[in-house]
Amino acid sequence: MNKTDVTIIGGGPAGLFASFYSGLRGMSVRILDFQNKLGGKMQIYPEKVIWDIGAIAPKPCYEVIQDLIQQGLHFNPEVCLEEKVIDIKKVQEKHFIIYTEQGSEYHTKSIIIAIGSGIIKPLTLDIEGAERYELTNLNYVVQSIKKFENKHVLISGAGNSALDWACDLSDYAKSITICYRKEDISGHEHMKQRLNDLNITKKPSMAIKQLNSHIDKPVISEVVLEHVDTKEQETLQVDEVIISHGFDQDSELLHNAQTKVNLVSDYYIEGLGNTQTSVPGIFGAGDILKHEAKAHLIASCFNDAANAANLAKRYIDPNAQDGGLVSSHNELFKERNKEVIKNYVSKG
């Protein structure tokens, strides 16, 4: 039985930094993630610009992800992708068993739950035959802005994500139209003003009724919109369609596990003033964790991760120090620090 010191459920920013800091504390680490690659929800928006990480200038998500992955894998954790965790059982102190949908069992001394918003899947368009266009021009996420350059784009949805994409793509697309079922959009007030300033066409109380293709290939060429009250219809010529109706968030693990942690609002893990949970040996980090002092920013997940790793170390070894040495004084980084300084000096 391979019992790892700490198993991290979730390979997003919180999980990756928890991996790094756990390795820094000399613990063996395993990362489990449902997706086929590390990075968490940030992989959905690779070209979104990230502003809210201290000391990092604004940069696209995909660049932040690469740095996070490089750092998170520094101490060579075991990484298990495409594993959906469905159950956690505490056998005894310092011994948990994690069960996955794929039939695997992982034994570990402690657990850090860093699942962000849970397993997220975009809500799909509920129209018969819509799936045939998913490989061409029906989009549930925006992976590349270039795809929409000089295109007539229809966005369905009026939440913050839909409005963000409308504004971000307006500099590249030939035209942007937003349709939404309500009379008014639900995003932040400043975003509504931006829509007006950018001359984005709004179709309130309208929903997609039908997708049409006038060629043999499964490519949407026009969309039929229908008014939710009057049932009047309107046809738009389009090149690309973006569906931004939100995400289905799967948090079954926290409700169905044999060993349950206390929750807040029936969804978030209750942090006991920090990353401790109601179950000794299980810790939380990132968006899934909630307590009174918590700020829900990417930046705050790094503090969560380090705190969770330190508490896991103390749980496994009560005689361990409260925290690890900072990198500038840590022998683990001595040689690597020399390389970094040498490169810095050589660049003048």
Q: The tokens of 181 are what?
A: 């079922």
CA distances for 330 relative to 24, 70, 77, 327, 335, angstroms: 9, 19, 19, 5, 10
CA distances for 51 relative to 14, 48, 58, 60, 299, angstroms: 17, 10, 5, 9, 10
Is 316 annotated to bind a ligand? Reply is no
No. of helices (H) and no. of strands (E), the chain: 7, 22
- How many whole angstroms separate alpha carbon 326 and alpha carbon 333? 10
b/e code 69-94 from CB counts within 10 Å (16+ = b)? beebbbbebebbeebbbebbebeeeb
Is 315 annotated to bind a ligand? Reply is no
Is 287 annotated to bind a ligand? Reply is yes
Contact indicator for 130, 211 with CB cutoff of 8 Å? yes
Is 33 annotated to bind a ligand? Reply is yes
Is 45 annotated to bind a ligand? Reply is yes
Neighbours of 111 (CB within 10 A): 29
Neighbours of 172 (CB within 10 A): 15
Report angle CA 27, 29, 30 to the nearest 5 degrees.
165
Is 328 annotated to bind a ligand? Reply is yes
Is 164 annotated to bind a ligand? Reply is no
Q: Point out the annotated binding site.
A: 33, 41, 45, 85, 120, 287, 328
Q: Point out the annotated binding site for FAD.
A: 33, 41, 45, 85, 120, 287, 328
